[in-house]
């Protein structure tokens, strides 16, 4: 079976260009997760590399399938300069390792919380996982492997995360859209929730 990660990195480079920085984090009991940084005009994108090495497994499954199951990587886009977003590398690696460490299946509509600010002074401790396909196309793999999906992450304030738990991901995204929220602003305030 071919190693998935070189194919994933090639797809990221095709979609986002050459990374200008990369960092690696290893957690006890999990494979190494890398985070690549891509500069594109007035946007910085951080993409994980390593989460898709193994399929995500339903935590209720009796036996983990080593071949079949959803595969994904995470992509976060922010505007540079307003905050020290470079410190988001470790929190992103934590989120990317969560399927291996905690048995999570990360899918669109899910909330992921790191418990601390995503970067120093950030008003966000969690992210909403958005639908893939817009920025980086899915990477089809040979059968029987599932494709790798590149899931955008949308930072949420604690109030937005609580509101999303009650009203759902779709309602929160509509509220952001209706208020013209700049989801790439690293220091934005919470969208009005009344």
| Digitized pLDDT (tens) for each residue of the chain, 194 residues in all | 458 999 999 999 999 999 999 999 888 777 899 999 999 888 999 999 999 998 998 766 666 667 788 999 999 999 987 778 888 999 999 999 988 888 889 999 999 999 999 999 999 999 999 999 888 999 999 988 899 999 999 999 999 999 999 999 999 999 999 999 999 999 999 998 87
Strand segments, DSSP code E, in the chain are 21-25, 33-40, 43-49, 71-78, 111-113, 126-129, 148-156
CA distances to 56, 151, 182 from 83, in Å:
32, 23, 15
C-alpha–C-alpha distance, residues 70 and 145, integer Å: 9
CA distances to 18, 55, 150, 180 from 136, in Å:
14, 19, 6, 23
Closest residue by Cα to residue 79 from 122, 111, 139, 22: 122
What pLDDT score does 2 carry? Answer: 54
Phi, psi dihedrals of residue 76, rounded to the nearest 5°: -120, 130
Given a contact cutoff of 8 angstroms between Cβ atoms, the answer to whether 15 and 135 are in contact is yes
What pLDDT score does 20 carry? Answer: 93
C-alpha–C-alpha distance, residues 58 and 69, integer Å: 9
C-alpha–C-alpha distance, residues 48 and 124, integer Å: 19
What pLDDT score does 172 carry? Answer: 96
């Amino acid at each position: 079976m071919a190693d998935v990660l070189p194919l994933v990195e090639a797809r990221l480079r095709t979609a986002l260009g050459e990374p200008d920085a990369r960092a690696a984090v290893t957690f006890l009991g999990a494979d190494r997760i890398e985070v690549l940084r891509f500069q594109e005009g007035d946007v910085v994108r951080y993409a994980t590399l390593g989460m898709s090495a193994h399929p995500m497994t339903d935590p209720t499954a009796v036996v983990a399938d080593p071949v079949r199951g959803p595969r994904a990587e995470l992509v976060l886009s922010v505007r540079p300069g307003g905050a020290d977003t470079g410190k988001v590398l470790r929190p992103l690696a934590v989120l990317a390792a969560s399927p291996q460490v905690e048995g999570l299946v990360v899918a669109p509509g899910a909330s992921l919380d790191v418990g601390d600010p995503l970067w120093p002074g950030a008003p966000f401790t969690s992210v909403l996982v958005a639908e893939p396909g817009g920025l980086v196309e899915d990477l089809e793999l040979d059968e029987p492997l599932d494709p790798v999906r590149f899931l955008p992450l949308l930072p949420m304030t604690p109030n937005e995360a609580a509101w999303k738990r009650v009203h759902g991901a779709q309602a929160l995204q509509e509220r952001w859209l209706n208020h013209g929220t700049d989801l790439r602003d690293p220091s934005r305030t919470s969208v009005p929730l009344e």
